[in-house]
């Protein structure tokens, strides 16, 4: 597809079926896989904790970040992902995704919507909505059945 030929694309990745499909979709969308940046955000234990007085021991964010980066590298070992850049950061997912897009001068963010609603959305917030508000570039939100992303967006 010529429009996205030299585009830099950010793809948030949380190991879900939807995020796997978003990476696959992106690799089919652009020619240069070295322009694809996959990001996994480890939510800081300070941000994730609803009760700061919790008796639970604090999670070592750097250890979790290291573990998730290793998991990303293992997951993307296949030759077709060889040039895909992998990022694992600690922080607020919406902010970190938008920040990476700005830092890499991305042309597009491709992300799935998990379709949460009601109480789940209220408690968890919407990463997609936050990215839409904060990002400097267009964001393509892939909704619905992940197997049909490509046919839904680019019908024959």
pLDDT in tens, the chain (156 residues): 456 677 899 999 999 999 999 999 999 988 888 999 999 999 876 655 555 555 444 456 788 889 999 999 999 999 989 899 999 999 999 999 999 999 999 999 999 887 665 555 554 458 888 999 999 999 999 986 644 555 455 544
**pTM for this entry:** 0.80
Cα atoms found within 13 Å of the Cα of residue 10, Cβ hemisphere only? 30
CB count within 10 Å of CB 108 equals: 21
The DSSP output letter for 114 is: -
Which tokens go with 12?
């948030």
Residue 13: the pLDDT is: 95
Domains (range + CATH), the chain: 2-146 (3.40.50.620)
Distance CA 140, CA 154 (A): 13
Both tokens of residue 85?
């850049």
Residue 56: what pLDDT? 46
pLDDT for res 3 = 66
Cα angle: 140, vertex 83, 7; to 5 degrees: 35
Tracing tokens 């990745």 back to the chain, one arrives at 13
Residue-level pLDDT at 58: 47
């Amino acid at each position: 597809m010529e429009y996205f030929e030299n585009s830099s694309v950010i793809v948030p990745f949380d190991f879900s079926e939807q995020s796997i499909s978003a990476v696959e979709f992106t690799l089919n969308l652009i020619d240069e896989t070295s322009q694809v940046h996959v990001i996994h955000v480890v939510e800081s234990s300070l941000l994730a904790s609803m009760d700061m007085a919790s008796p639970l021991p604090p999670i070592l964010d750097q250890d979790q970040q290291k573990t998730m980066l290793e998991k990303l590298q293992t997951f993307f070992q296949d030759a077709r992902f060889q040039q895909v850049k992998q990022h694992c950061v600690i922080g607020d997912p919406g902010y970190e995704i938008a920040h990476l897009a700005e830092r890499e001068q991305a042309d597009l963010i491709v992300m799935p919507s998990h379709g949460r609603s009601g109480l789940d959305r209220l408690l968890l917030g919407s990463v997609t909505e936050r990215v839409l508000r904060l990002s400097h570039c267009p964001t393509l939100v892939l909704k619905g059945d992940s197997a049909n992303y490509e046919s839904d967006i680019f019908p024959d």
